[in-house]
Amino acid sequence: MLTRGTLIYIAQRLALIVFTLIAVSFLVFITVHSLPGSAFESERVHGKALQLVLHQYGLDRPILVQYWSFLTSAIHGNLGVSFQIRGLPITPLVMRELSVSAELGGTALLITIGIGTTFGVLAAMRQNSWVDYTLTSIAVVGYSVPSFVLAGLGVLIFSYWLPNVTNGVISYPAIWTGTYGTLVELSLPAVILGFYTSGQVTRITRAAMLEVLQQDYIRTARAKGLKSRVVTVRHALRNALIPVISILGPLVISIITGSVIIENIFGIPGLGKEFVESILGADYNVTVAVFTVYALLIGIANLVVDLLYTVVDPRIRY
Amino acid sequence: MTDPILEVRGLSTHFFTDDGEVKAVRGVSFGVEPGETLGIVGESGCGKSVTAMSILGLVQRPGKVVAGEIMFKGSDLLKLTKEELRNIRGRDIAMIFQDPLSSLNPVLRVGYQIDEAMYAHDKIPRDQVERRGIDLLKQVRVSDAERRINDFPHQFSGGMRQRAMIAMGLSNKPDLLIADEPTTALDVTVQAQILELLRDLNEQTGAAIILITHNLGVVAGLCKRVLVMYAGEIVEEGTAEQIFERPQHPYTWSLLRSVPRIDANRGHRLLSIEGLPPDLIDLPQGCKFNPRCPFRVERCFKESPPIEQVAPAQHAACWVTMERAYAEMGAGTITDTSPGAASGVHPDGRRALPAAEVPAAVAEAGQ
Amino acid sequence: MAISTPVLEEYAGGTVAREQVGLWRDGFRRLRRNRLALAALVYLTILFVVAIVALFWTPYNPAAILPNTLTFLGPSAAHPLGTDDLGRDLLSRMMQGAQISLIVGVGTSAIVLTVGVVVGLIAGYFRGWIDNVISVFINIFYGIPGILVAIILYLVLGRGLGNIMIAISATAWMDMARLVRGQAFSIREREYIEAARASGARSGKILFGHILPNSLGPIIVQATFVIPIAILTEAFLSYLGLGIPSPLASWGSIASEGYAALPLEPYMMLWPAVALSLTLLAFNFLGDGLRDAFDPRQRL
Ligand SMILES: Nc1ncnc2c1ncn2[C@@H]1O[C@H](COP(=O)(O)OP(=O)(O)OP(=O)(O)O)[C@@H](O)[C@H]1O
Ligand code: SF4
Ligand SMILES: [Mg+2]
């Protein structure tokens, strides 16, 4: 399975990811540190005391020196310390938040792919029927309605209206309680997040299915006397999934984008919430760390996608 | 004469497109006897593939079989349920297609695609399927079959893919194999090998073969009997010898005249004669060949000629027939084959442009 | 292959021009048949009128905390959409929000169009090291969610309408540049460019006279899709409190205030929710319609 060529390819891609991470973190580091103010201002530290604190955190050094020390410790897995919660090491914090975001995002991704491929296949099988029009319209609605609107609607129904109607038998907490939430708490944000991106999957699956269903090998499969379900799933869908895989990368990006706002709405302690809080609180080390982790995540997701191609399409070998 | 295993009667298949109703196949009738090799020839677009697809119920929207009967082993295929038809496809009647690369699923192993055809019908005992898959590949002369059976289609050469398609078609020991231009996409040498293979298989397994092609040379090499189609209809039918030696329909005659010129160059359309086939949405009145026929007479513009016996086992649909054309119009010596040239009939300004004056763009569009 | 006679160049040019006219005519015909796209166009026209009216007149001052007016007033004759948590007139605020959304959407699209087309043409036409530098830069940022970049950049630049557009454009131009670069690459290969070049046309003329008109369809489609993305991003930022500074009203900020007030007065969230959804839907339908009409190759 893993040939020499593939391993070399993976190594090259990993090198590229590292290069990207350095470039991105550098740009973000410089940009963020040019922002006016710092986390300590709000703490009313002035004059000599402020100098002392800045010195303690190394913030009085030239910016390039600061970046260099960030980079060298980042390579050892140390992303620095938070300003806001004085001295809190960022790496474990970000790792925990990453796992929370991954829980939410992973669930959303599964929902997206589930809904999207199902709708896409159904629409393609019934091209130009009302089923097709309904499903493709839902797809456009999906990525047109902002997630905070869906969140508002969901909270209104599940947190206010249903508890009222059922006298509190059904009640949905609008805000997460624990770090990882409960399954019930996870469900609404994950569905909203997943629904938003499912439209893209629906459309690309539908287009790919329509394209594939025209292919000669589908005619061959039918001429062999295979059951139509077998033709659809084994012969058509497997080929239609190849273009679907190509949007997995953009999909991960969409989900991250959506999660920034969803995490803030539902109070989910993930990377997205941290990103906004850190930037509002001028906790720049954290901002840089979160950004870098996102970039890493996306780089790895794209690599995984490219490797997935080789699994689904035997013609592709690296 | 034995009973035919397949008998098509009055088959008509139309496509209901935005531009109008494309009458691709109109009133086609023919029979296939057990073990027989039947060739169907005609220019591109004359309805050969649609006829074949209609037999197996593979015509898709916007196409529809609008009339006819397709009798196979005593039942009308057009009246079967989807499931009953599915049971016949690939089991009793198998089909192989022109382009062997696009006709194989790129993401499934060749062996899997062959075995799948057998699993789908349970005609071959399940525990013998894999063994038979390899044997079939050997039978169609793919070397190193044990190993190659696990390859993906893109790892096969063009000729090997077509062999694999044939193996797939034969896997359930069908009574009838329909081969739609099985050699067109292949090299000349590979073409010859595939034809030889089909001939051997026909002799060994006794499966009847319908061979669809542009290439008269291919037909001559394999088929005992030949149908000539023009604009969705059968215009002539006879034994290979009759069709090649004594064609009675002016269209067949024209096709034969054009053979040497094109045979030289594979990859180009193998049959082509002056002028264009008619628009299948808006067909000419009378004989559909009249706009291109050198021997047309007045009657050809008014009435459609019925297909009639012209010799023992030979039928043609023509008011004139070549016998008369030779005798009365000097068909044996003419060099000008433009429409109406031999008969001098150009009724009411209906004179078509001589081929030389057909604008190049139009001629290309018709290819 | 080099065709260098003036006659041939003229012939080639004529073909291109005729091809273009035909394409546009077909495109408009297809667009007219697309009912969803037409409905979207009607809605957007109305929205533009509302936004323009709001320039000169709104029922109340959108920012004014009205004296003697209750907060969270339901819809009434005086306040058709009610009042918000501070007693401001929601209709006036929604009208201002329409203005902001459209300015951000169209403005961002214009920036993206300009930057993306110029950079893309340069990369695709000149190739070589220029293309390499541009491509490496785009590839680095290609995978980064635009919203993160927009947030940081917006705060660095300082809050304001112009800066929010720049912040959103910071990543959005890359898609456009990639598209134009690809188009330039393929069109460059075509014969008539060769013809034009062989007869000594300058690169400027080739770029803007040949490549640009030939890729106009996909470019317009892409530019249309930038609009809803920009509107949505602005709404996101405003919703998070990182957007247009108050008291300017944005649909995003009204929605955010409305979300906080959800248990009390759901309608306050309703208006921006409906307005945003319809507007984004309209732009997406319009974009789809334009794509089907003018860029049939990438029809989904
Ligand atoms: N899906 C379709 N929609 C509309 N018309 C069709 C369709 N498929 C086939 N036709 C029409 O049916 C006619 C016959 O097509 P067919 O494929 O049977 O020709 P053929 O004889 O097999 O030609 P070729 O040698 O090129 O394969 C064509 O003229 C074509 O216009
Ligand atoms: S002679 Fe008449 S009937 Fe015979 S093919 Fe020519 S046109 Fe048709
Ligand atoms: Mg054919």
Nearest ligand, CA of residue B322?
Answer: 2
Which protein residues have a CB closer than 5 Å to ligand 3 (ion)? B 49
Residue B136 lies in a domain: yes
Nearest ligand, CA of residue B180?
Answer: 3
Say whether pLDDT at C72 is over 50: yes
**CATH value at residue A298:** 1.10.3720.10
Q: How many domains, in total, are found in chain A?
A: 1
Say whether pLDDT at B315 is over 90: yes
Say whether pLDDT at B74 is over 60: yes
Task: Give the minimum alpha-carbon distance from B120 to chain A in angstroms, rounded to a whole number.
Answer: 6
Chain A residues in contact with C140 by the CB 8 A cut-off are 20, 23-24
Task: Give the minimum alpha-carbon distance from C283 to chain A in angstroms, rounded to a whole number.
Answer: 9
Residue B285 sits in the same domain as residue B190? no
Say whether pLDDT at C9 is over 70: no
User: Residue B359 is part of which domain span?
Assistant: 250-365
Secondary-structure breakdown of chain B: helix, strand, coil percentages, each rounded to the nearest 5: 35, 20, 45
Say whether pLDDT at B349 is over 70: no
Asked if C219 contacts C117 with a C-beta cutoff of 8 angstroms, the reply is yes
B223, B242, B265 — which closes off a domain?
Answer: B223
Ligand 2 binding pocket includes B331 (Cβ within 6 Å): no
Q: In Å, how far are B267, C258, C266, C273 from C252, measured between CA atoms? A: 62, 10, 15, 9
Say whether pLDDT at C286 is over 50: yes
Chain A residues in contact with C255 by the CB 8 A cut-off are 146, 148-149, 152
Say whether pLDDT at C299 is over 50: no
Residue B259 sits in the same domain as residue B201? no
Asked if B307 contacts B315 with a C-beta cutoff of 8 angstroms, the reply is yes
Query: What letter represents residue B316's amino acid?
Result: A
Say whether pLDDT at B52 is over 90: yes
Q: Which pLDDT score is estimated for C140? A: 81
- Phi first, then psi, for residue A14 (nearest 5°) are -65, -40
Q: What is the DSSP string of B26-50?
A: EEEEEEE-TT-EEEEE-STTSSHHH
- Closest CB to C143: pick one of A34, A279, A299: A299
Say whether pLDDT at B221 is over 60: yes
For ligand 1, atom 6, which residue shows the shortest CA distance? B15
Residue B186 sits in the same domain as residue B258? no
Q: Which pLDDT score is estimated for C200? A: 63
Q: Which of B52-66, B193-207, B289-303, C3-17 has the lowest mean pLDDT?
A: C3-17
Q: Which of A53-67, B205-219, B239-253, B326-340 has the lowest mean pLDDT?
A: A53-67
For ligand 2, atom 4, which residue shows the shortest CA distance? B318
Chain B residues in contact with A310 by the CB 8 A cut-off are none
User: Residue A121 is part of which domain span?
Assistant: 90-312
> What distance in Å separates the CA atoms of residue A72 and residue A66, rounded to the nearest whole number?
10
Average pLDDT, rounded, for chain A: 85
pLDDT in tens, B112-161: 999 999 999 988 888 888 999 999 898 888 888 899 999 999 999 888 88
Say whether pLDDT at A119 is over 60: yes
**Average pLDDT for B299-321:** 91
Residue B47 sits in the same domain as residue B167? yes
B186, B208, B223 — which closes off a domain?
Answer: B223
CB contact under 8 A, C242 and A276: yes
> What distance in Å separates the CA atoms of residue A214 and residue B30, rounded to the nearest whole number?
29
CB contact under 8 A, B90 and A227: no
Nearest CA in chain A to B88: A225
Q: Which of A67-71, A152-156, C72-76 has the lowest mean pLDDT?
A: C72-76
For ligand 1, atom 24, which residue shows the shortest CA distance? B44
pLDDT in tens, B185-209: 777 787 888 888 888 888 888 899 9
For ligand 1, atom 5, which residue shows the shortest CA distance? B15
Q: Does A217 touch chain B (CB under 8 A)?
A: yes
Distance of CA C111 to the CA centre of its chain: 9
Residue B25 sits in the same domain as residue B131? yes
Atom of ligand 2 nearest to the CA of B320: 1
B204, B223, B242 — which closes off a domain?
Answer: B223
Average pLDDT, rounded, for chain B: 85
Residue B188 sits in the same domain as residue B254? no
B235 contacts: CB under 8 Å, gap ≥ 6: B228, B229, B249, B251, B252, B289, B307, B316, B317, B318
Say whether pLDDT at A216 is over 70: yes
Q: Which pLDDT score is estimated for A116? A: 94
Residue B258 sits in the same domain as residue B203? no
Residue A52 lies in a domain: no
> What distance in Å separates the CA atoms of residue B71 and residue B79, rounded to the nearest whole number?
10
More confident call, C217 vs A258: A258
Note whether B touches A: 3 CB pairs or more under 8 A: yes
Q: Which pLDDT score is estimated for C296? A: 57
More confident call, A118 vs A158: A118
Q: Does A84 touch chain C (CB under 8 A)?
A: no
> Residues 274..303 of A with a Cβ closer than 8 Å to C: which?
275-276, 279-280, 287, 291, 294-295, 298-299, 302
Ligand 2 binding pocket includes B325 (Cβ within 6 Å): no
Say whether pLDDT at C146 is over 90: no
